[in-house]
Structure 1
Amino acid sequence: MIATSDIFTISNQKQFEKTALKVFRHQREHNLVYREFCDLLKINPQEVKSLTSIPFLPIQFFKSHAVVSNTNPIQETFSSSGTTGMITSKHLITDVSIYEESYRSGFTQFYGNIEDYVVLALLPSYLERDGSSLIYMIEDLIRLSKQKESGFYLHNHEELIEKLEKLDQSGQNVILIGVTYALLDLIEKHPFKLQNTIIMETGGMKGKRKEMIREELHEQLCAGFGVTAIHSEYGMTELLAQAYSLGNGIFECPSWMQILIRDTEDALSYVKEGKTGGINVIDLTNINSCSFIATQDLGKKYPNNSFEVLGRFDNSDIRGCNLMVL
């Protein structure tokens, strides 16, 4: 059994690889869905000796299967957003304290003490449904900030505008976390000149606006908020870890998360740094579900495990990787 302390104390690449291989063997043994996937690929676990030889489970499996690596009771079920009638992903969480430690430690690693910030959240699409892992995280960060000004906003833009201006002018450090379309709606109502506020977009137009390339989006948000950089959070229902970008769309991972970039034509091989391909995520905090996930995002990897997200696959299937998706 892998202790969570082994995951959160990783400090170098050798440790990461050693722990990842232990997690692979554990999940190959105890996760029935992952084991069947490995068997279909004819993977001999004894021959898996590097990160690139670990099989990555297509993310669609979370829509059709219960992806769990133990028989403990389910404490939380996180679900993805989707339009009416769409099958959504379900992430069954048997130990929510691991998620809490992951996002709390991840936030500290990138931003320092949460108590130094007022946390404002503009997340209408997420607030209007149940089962959002993002709302779970932000609710907890708001509570941990111990700032009476911290809180959620739905459509009460005037109140948020007034609070943002007042807090920023007082010199208070603020993080405004928002879904992309809602941030654009806000700056259309009121242009800002913020000095002490971090704007963090969580992605997604949610069908409310046309999709935009990141450069164009960030240019508009920088101009509208009067800031020099837009921060971003990269996370998803099927993960317990988040990567953060402090600007320019370049994401960095916490020490328990890494990405690999697979070939779009051959899902079992990888491309070199700086080349575009499909994003495979290793999230070691997903110890109780699956830590090795082939996402439907396209990206590039750079030195020091940083990466860029460039968009999504056009088709719903990940080529060469949908053996069991029903």
Structure 2
Amino acid sequence: MIDPRDIFNIQTQTEFKDLAMKVFKFQFENNSVYRSFCDLLYVHPSDITSIKDIPFLPIQFFKSHRVLSSSKPIEKIFSSSGTTGSVSSKHYVTDLSIYENSFQKGFEQFYGNIKDYVILALLPSYLEREGSSLIYMAEVLIKQSKHKESGFYLNNLTELKDLLLKLESEGKKTLLMGVSFALLDLVEQYQFQLKNTIVMETGGMKGRRKEMIRTELHNTLKEGFGVSTIHSEYGMTELLSQAYSKDHGIFNCPPWMQVLTRDTEDALTIQDYGKSGGINIIDLANINSCAFIATQDLGRAYQNGSFEVMGRFDYSDIRGCNLMVL
């Protein structure tokens, strides 16, 4: 067994690589779905000499299989929203404390103490369904913020506008976390000049609006909120970690998460840094499911550990994660 505490104590690239290799061996031995996938590729742990050699499980398997590396009871099932008639992804979580550790430590790394912020969550589409991992994260952050003003907002935009202006006048640090279409709805009705508020978009239009390229979306939001930058969160049902962008759509990962890109013509080939390709994610917080995932997103990974998202594969279905097609 691997001690989950080791995941969140990673400090160097060497430590990341060493633990990733251990997690691969553990999941090869304990995850029947992943083992079958590796067997089809004729890959065995004895063949693996670097993390680039590790097979990445196509994310679609979370729609068709129970992807589990643990025999412990299921504590929570996170599911994607999907579109009408489509099959949702399901992430079976056997240890919620790992998820909570991941998003709390990740948030603190990029933004500091949660208690310093009033957390306002404008996530109507997520609130309207069951099983959202983003709602679970927001609920915990709201509780931990310890501010009475923190909370969720559905369609009560006037109330949210009044609160934002009140918090601004009181000089309180505020994080407004919202799905893209709802943030656009807000700035179409009201204009702001926010000095103490971080505006963070967490996702695409989910069929509510025409998709926009990220620069167009962010420019519209910057003008409407009167802020110089728009932050973004990159997460999905199949992950237990998030990456964050503080500007220009360049994301950074916590120490236990890394992004690589694969060749779009040869899914088993990991590309050099800076080349656009399919995004592969190593999320070591996924110790009890699968830590090595080939997503349906397109992007570029850079040598300093950052990455950007450029869109989605044409054949992939539209889902309620964090992507806007470019």
TM, length-normalised to structure 1? 0.96
1:102-158 superposed Cα distances (whole Å, 9 cap, x missing partner): 000000000000000000000000000000000000000000000000000000000
Alpha-carbon distance, 1:44 to partner: 2.1
For 1:274 and 1:153, the matched residues in 2 are separated by 39
The alignment status of 1:204 with 2:204, answered yes or no, reads yes
1:51-84 superposed Cα distances (whole Å, 9 cap, x missing partner): 1000000000000000000111000000001222
Alpha-carbon distance, 1:164 to partner: 0.4
The alignment status of 1:55 with 2:55, answered yes or no, reads yes
Query: SS at the partner of 2:281?
Result: strand
1:10-45 superposed Cα distances (whole Å, 9 cap, x missing partner): 000000000000000000000000000000001021
For 1:116 and 1:109, the matched residues in 2 are separated by 13
What's the counterpart of residue 90 of structure 2? Answer: 90
For 2:78 and 2:220, the matched residues in 1 are separated by 32
For 1:316 and 1:131, the matched residues in 2 are separated by 22
Alpha-carbon distance, 1:274 to partner: 1.6
What's the counterpart of residue 322 of structure 1? Answer: none
What's the counterpart of residue 43 of structure 1? Answer: 43
Alpha-carbon distance, 1:303 to partner: 2.6
Aligned AA for 1:221?
Answer: L
Aligned AA for 2:38?
Answer: C
Structure 2 residue runs of 5 or longer lacking an equivalent are 318-326
Query: SS at the partner of 2:278?
Result: strand
What's the counterpart of residue 128 of structure 1? Answer: 128
Alpha-carbon distance, 1:217 to partner: 0.8
The alignment status of 1:151 with 2:151, answered yes or no, reads yes
What's the counterpart of residue 195 of structure 2? Answer: 195
What's the counterpart of residue 112 of structure 1? Answer: 112
Q: Which moved more, 1:267-276 or 1:208-217?
A: 267-276
Query: SS at the partner of 2:77?
Result: strand
Alpha-carbon distance, 1:209 to partner: 0.7
Aligned AA for 1:279?
Answer: I
Query: SS at the partner of 1:305?
Result: coil
1:165-200 superposed Cα distances (whole Å, 9 cap, x missing partner): 110121100000000000000000001110000000
What's the counterpart of residue 169 of structure 2? Answer: 169
What's the counterpart of residue 5 of structure 1? Answer: 5
For 1:296 and 1:97, the matched residues in 2 are separated by 27
For 1:282 and 1:248, the matched residues in 2 are separated by 23
What's the counterpart of residue 287 of structure 1? Answer: 287
Query: SS at the partner of 1:272?
Result: coil
For 2:132 and 2:298, the matched residues in 1 are separated by 23
What's the counterpart of residue 321 of structure 1? Answer: none
For 1:150 and 1:116, the matched residues in 2 are separated by 11
What's the counterpart of residue 24 of structure 1? Answer: 24
Aligned AA for 1:209?
Answer: R
Alpha-carbon distance, 1:227 to partner: 0.3
For 1:46 and 1:83, the matched residues in 2 are separated by 41
Give % identity: 65
Aligned AA for 1:43?
Answer: V
For 1:151 and 1:285, the matched residues in 2 are separated by 27
What's the counterpart of residue 324 of structure 1? Answer: none
1:254-275 superposed Cα distances (whole Å, 9 cap, x missing partner): 0000010100000011222221
Instruction: Kindly tell me the number of residue pairs found equivalent between the two proteins.
Output: 317
For 2:82 and 2:67, the matched residues in 1 are separated by 19
What's the counterpart of residue 255 of structure 2? Answer: 255
1:208-244 superposed Cα distances (whole Å, 9 cap, x missing partner): 1111111111111100100000000000000000000
TM, length-normalised to structure 2? 0.96
Structure 1 residue runs of 5 or longer lacking an equivalent are 318-326
For 1:195 and 1:80, the matched residues in 2 are separated by 34
Query: SS at the partner of 2:104?
Result: helix
What's the counterpart of residue 233 of structure 2? Answer: 233
For 2:162 and 2:229, the matched residues in 1 are separated by 22
For 1:166 and 1:280, the matched residues in 2 are separated by 42
Query: SS at the partner of 1:304?
Result: coil
What's the counterpart of residue 214 of structure 1? Answer: 214
Query: SS at the partner of 1:158?
Result: helix
